[in-house]
Structure 1
Amino acid sequence: MYQYIKGIVEEISIDYIVVESFGIGYRINTSQNTICNLKEGEEVKIYTKLIVREDDMSICGFKTKEELRMFELLNSVSKIGPKVALGILSFVEPKKLGSFILSGDVKALSKAPGVGKKTAERIILELKDKIDKNNIEFNCVLRNDINRVSLEIEEVVQALVALGYSLSEAKEAVNKCNKNCLETEELIKKCLAYLMK
């Protein structure tokens, strides 16, 4: 239904953004990979996919066609829904993910949130012949340079809860403070400063 939405980034949250276009604010679920490449107030073009369920309709979107394509591939795998697909794309960039799949790297892929060994094997089995071999980074498999942004955010939330803050307070603080993909320790300090105001 929507090929893309072009507008101004009005809000950036942990797992979604709000883009205003012609007076309408679109809540778009997205990955940390996309979020880290956006800034509030900038004009963007977000490539989108409308997700329709029996009880809900939502939009998933990404800054690049490449990431949208990978999301669609992941979402086509049996037992993998939009939430898990977004979690995987928050964990590893599309080119690296393609290299994991083509090389059959179950160990690396199973480290993604919501993905165990069996799910990783199923992703590789179902997508190996669908990956664009000209658009991957094999060298990243050797470096095992995995994007752990989503895991680090979860660590920060858990750390704040351990310090006595409620889960909602912790999530709010991370939402407000994680604008530039900070390192874990730096983000914790910034969140504590926010919570103590």
Structure 2
Amino acid sequence: MIDYIKGKLAHVIGDSIIVENNGIGYKVHTSTGSASDFSMPGEEVIVYTEMIVREDAISLVGFSTRDELNMFLLLTSVSGIGTKVGVGILSSIPYGQLAGIIALQDIKTLQTAQGVGKKTAERIVLELKDKVPQTLSLNAQDSQKGASVISSSQSDAMEALMSLGYTRSEAQGVLKQIDIDQMSVEEIIKASLKKLMQQF
């Protein structure tokens, strides 16, 4: 299993990038968002990858952040969602917004993604609506390992929101609008995403 590739960006070709490492050029399929992050040929990049093994082909899918890779893995865990559709969804909707859309069960907006019809959107929401906040919470807790002070639910939620691409000020601002008493981290994240999506 290849967890990530660190090397020199050789080319950006449509929905793929070529990363050279030790004289080998790795072709990695990616989203348009990540492709735009890898825009300067010759620069050193890190691509977080997943190897896709099928009977007729072996390929690499990769992204500029581990959070986007985690969202891809969640999407492709849904029955009927393959590599092409998973990447297409992430190319249509930035992964931070996508997490909010799924958590809020916004099927209509989800249908605007490439390759997603009503039934597929309903299946994604059904299978991931509870997994997305939990995953964000775990990511936030992981990012705090080694800290000398135990994180509060609010700070865990803030870290999770920032991992989705929201700024610290945006996260702090929306958390101030929420009464977090008696709320779990997952519930705080859901409430925050709802307010942030309303602002979008």
Q: Give 1:48's aligned amino acid.
A: T
Q: Kindly provide the amino acid, as one letter, of the partner of residue 103 in structure 1.
A: L
C-alpha separation in 1, matches of 2:31 and 2:67:
13
Work out whether residues 96 and 140 of structure 1, in 8 Å CA contact, stay in contact via their aligned partners in 2: no
CA separation in 2, counterparts of 1:6 and 1:139?
37
C-alpha RMSD of the superposition: 1.3
Q: Distance in 1 between matches of 2:118 and 2:197?
A: 17
Task: Please report the TM-score for the alignment, with normalisation by the length of structure 1.
Answer: 0.70
Stretches of structure 2 that go unaligned for 5 or more consecutive residues are: 138-156, 162-192
Structure number with the bigger relative contact order (C-alpha 8 A, sep ≥ 6) is 1
Matched residues in 2 for 1:140 and 1:52: separation? 37
Maintained 8 Å contact 1:110/1:117 = yes
Q: C-alpha offsets along residues 65-104 of structure 1, whole Å, 9 cap, x if unaligned?
A: 0000000000100000000000000011111100000101
Percent identity at matched positions?
48
| Structure 2 residue aligned with 1:142 | 198
Give, as a single letter, the amino acid of the residue that structure 2 aligns with 1:34. S
Give the SS at the match of 1:108.
helix
SS in 1 for 2:42: coil
Structure 1: state its 5+ residue gaps.
145-197
Shift, 1:11, TM fit? 0.5
Alignment deviations for residues 32-83 of structure 1 (CA, whole Å, 9 cap, x no partner): 0101111211100100000000000000000100000000000100000000
Tell me the distance in 2 between the aligned counterparts of 1:97 and 1:141.
10
Q: Quick one: distance in 1 between partners of 2:84 and 2:194?
A: 26
Name the counterpart of 1:96. Answer: 97
Match of 1:5 in 2: 5
Structure-2 separation of matches of 1:142 and 1:118 = 25
1:88/1:142 CA distance change after superposition, 3 Å:
same
Which range is displaced more, 61-70 or 39-48?
Answer: 39-48
- 1:118 is aligned to 119
Please give the alpha-carbon distance, in whole angstroms, between the structure 2 residues aligned to 1:122 and 1:42: 39
Question: Which stretches of structure 1, 4 residues or more, deviate above 4 A after TM superposition?
Answer: none
1:1-43 CA distances to partner (integer Å, 9 max, x unpaired)?
0010000110001100000001000000000010111121110
Q: Which SS does the other structure have where 1:36 is aligned?
A: helix
Shift of 1:140: 4.9
Three-state SS of the structure 2 residue aligned to 1:7 is: strand
CA positional deviation for 1:138 = 3.6
Give the aligned residue type for 1:73: L
